[in-house]
Structure 1
């Protein structure tokens, strides 16, 4: 595989590319170093609404033209918003890369934010919010974030709520664009059949002008403050979640924590799956995961069980976690390591995966971390380090969010 290229344009825009041999397509993505954790409580949902609104039309394209221009060439265009990042991405034939760069830039720099479109799109987001609320195994994770980070940006929903969405105005959208989409906060990445110098020329044309004096917004610092949330709606399967403070992106223990989470609940061979589902039949779904942020993270567990068995399932899940921290075996660590490495390296065999990898790496580390460096770190984690990471995370009181009519923890 070729090596990536990185250029910072005079206006501060970061441009990165990775040419891949043997492909006829390209993936291009624009990542913004912003997300819902940077919002005020009053305007919760603004980052996500901005992502929606840019697709409603620009100074040069209607909403229909945006869709037709991409589909005329067989391309795929989409976007997503998280708590700490926003991404606009396209997958297309290599010859159509200029269109992809131009269209994505047009979206984030020239959106119209028409008043009638804002009204309609707020209704669309409310439908999305309603769908999430009607999906217990989805909304329970928002409730867990709130339980882990109460009254903080990281604890609020990406979607916002009825009150905060109603408060958002066109001026708020324009201010968000000016502050959060300045060139120095953006990274344009592309992977596949491409030339780096050509990509830079396309970026210069699509993002003209000098650097702005916009001040980089700061979200409030993550402060894990565990609490409990219990939604008592009547459902067939009780949704049980818990979360412990975990290492963040820049913590040297993150790799060990990741492998602990995979060994504990990352697949069908994990301890949680085998003991909670296969041996005891207490849950259909059971898993563990690590979610790192720049300034902290969460180790979370989730189980869906009969409400009558909620107490037994909850107790067994936590028992298994502690047993894993105390007695993780080498074979389990090796299996978790294989999962982590396979997930990384398989993703790097496709343009979209490579583009996503570069974007994440630049957002988190401000450099393209060589995959070999990540592989070496994961390979170096020992059983004792994984056990210690698990024990450190489990040493404190967890946050909890549960849905269902059962006895809470």
Structure 2
């Protein structure tokens, strides 16, 4: 059975992707907005709002929201990102109507009680503190700032204590109307689902949602680059390096994914073999494509002893520069196979598949069948990877280092080494 995409009269799009043989379903309602749409004064409000809707909605208490789903064997969750906010239900076959009704209440009819807001601000403050205390989390806040500067994607999704504290019930209610507007809402269901049943449920839940536009679309972020470094007494130094690349809509997107896979995507990757297997510099080291709709970067993360930070930075820069010049045909074939495997294995998980479908609709206003994705991956050539490599080397690197003082110059070493090899 093939997936279908239909649109309600008010603009809400609906993806139905049955998976024959399953006794469960996954439902996600995705608003194509998140922290990237926030101005500085509202930093963290999208995440705070996601918390708040679970405190009460549609006449249900916080406990009722969870119990009504779990009593039927299901689970409910949500996630806030820079460009989207997702509300997710996993349920047994037959649980679609209940899941849709509960999510619709969260999105459309939250209680937003002032007393709940006071308490939830304290919870989010603890979440912010926890992230700051976790070096392998906090270093990624540093690299966002170094990469994207004052743009909203350069700020933490959680916001700050000050901006979260400034939120009021009235202001959050107004933000909810902008964030969850019909023009960027996608309902996506996979697994044991029927299209007619899904369309009826979606129409009932969201068909009368006003079609008024939501929050203004932010300008695409411009890669800034530069260093961020903080000294802490830690057992490890945490290093993240970012280079300017492209967004998910760009023709070189799959070349970027292949570059990241070859550089540090697995145990056969260049970084793993050189930095860990040959030199024993790092236990954790990998590369990744950090992409948004219209901008993105290539990231490298390494956790190493402070005394090895400088050498690790050199190795990372050298391997990036080498790969930017040439990729072996065997490496290219292996990276393509790995990338296709990652995409197709994700499609075997109903919730991941539902989120993937919603993401495709938000980015391209269409669905991509697996065969088409495979064709696009297979079409990437060594020349495409080389062109992408030159783009990576074209701007100032962004670097983030967290650890002992002796490790803090690792970012500078990475940037200088890469510049000398370009």
Q: Do the aligned residues in 1 keep the contact of 2:56 with 2:62 (CA within 8 Å)?
A: yes
Number of the residue aligned with 2:298: 299
Number of the residue aligned with 2:114: 115
SS in 2 for 1:247: coil
Number of the residue aligned with 2:351: 352
Number of the residue aligned with 2:160: 161
1:367-400 deviation digits (Å, cap 9, x = unpaired): 1122211110101111222132123212322011
Number of the residue aligned with 2:341: 342
SS in 2 for 1:73: coil
Instruction: Report the Cα offset of residue 184 of structure 1.
Output: 2.1
1:101 and 2:100 are equivalent in the alignment: yes
Distance in 1 separating the partners of 2:293 and 2:42: 23
1:329-349 deviation digits (Å, cap 9, x = unpaired): 111111111111011111222
Instruction: Report the Cα offset of residue 208 of structure 1.
Output: 4.3
Instruction: Report the Cα offset of residue 142 of structure 1.
Output: 1.1
Residues paired across the two proteins, number? 408
Q: Measured at CA, do residues 250 and 208 of structure 1 come closer, stay the same or move farther in structure 2, by a change above 3 Å?
A: closer
1:68-103 deviation digits (Å, cap 9, x = unpaired): 101101101111011111111111111111101111
SS in 1 for 2:282: coil
SS in 1 for 2:391: helix
Distance in 2 separating the partners of 1:76 and 1:62: 16
Q: Indicate the RMSD between aligned Cα atoms, in angstroms.
A: 1.2
Instruction: Report the Cα offset of residue 216 of structure 1.
Output: 4.4
Q: Do the aligned residues in 1 keep the contact of 2:48 with 2:124 (CA within 8 Å)?
A: yes
1:11 and 2:48 are equivalent in the alignment: no
Number of the residue aligned with 2:249: 250
1:19-41 deviation digits (Å, cap 9, x = unpaired): 11111111000000101010011
Number of the residue aligned with 1:131: 130
5+ residue gaps, structure 1, are none
Instruction: Report the Cα offset of residue 189 of structure 1.
Output: 0.6
Given the two structures, how large is their TM-score scaled by the length of structure 1?
0.97
Number of the residue aligned with 2:46: 47
Number of the residue aligned with 1:239: 238
Instruction: Report the Cα offset of residue 209 of structure 1.
Output: 2.0
Q: Do the aligned residues in 2 keep the contact of 1:286 with 1:304 (CA within 8 Å)?
A: yes
What does residue range 10-409 of structure 1 map to in structure 2 within 5 Å? 10-209=9-208, 211-404=210-403, 405-406=405-406, 407-408=408-409, 409=412
Distance in 2 separating the partners of 1:137 and 1:187: 32
Distance in 2 separating the partners of 1:97 and 1:58: 18
Q: Do the aligned residues in 1 keep the contact of 2:227 with 2:398 (CA within 8 Å)?
A: yes
Distance in 2 separating the partners of 1:390 and 1:3: 36
Q: Do the aligned residues in 2 keep the contact of 1:13 with 1:188 (CA within 8 Å)?
A: yes
Distance in 2 separating the partners of 1:251 and 1:183: 26
Distance in 2 separating the partners of 1:291 and 1:268: 20
1:301-329 deviation digits (Å, cap 9, x = unpaired): 11111111211111111001111222321
Distance in 1 separating the partners of 2:375 and 2:336: 11
Distance in 1 separating the partners of 2:308 and 2:351: 42
Q: Do the aligned residues in 2 keep the contact of 1:37 with 1:220 (CA within 8 Å)?
A: no
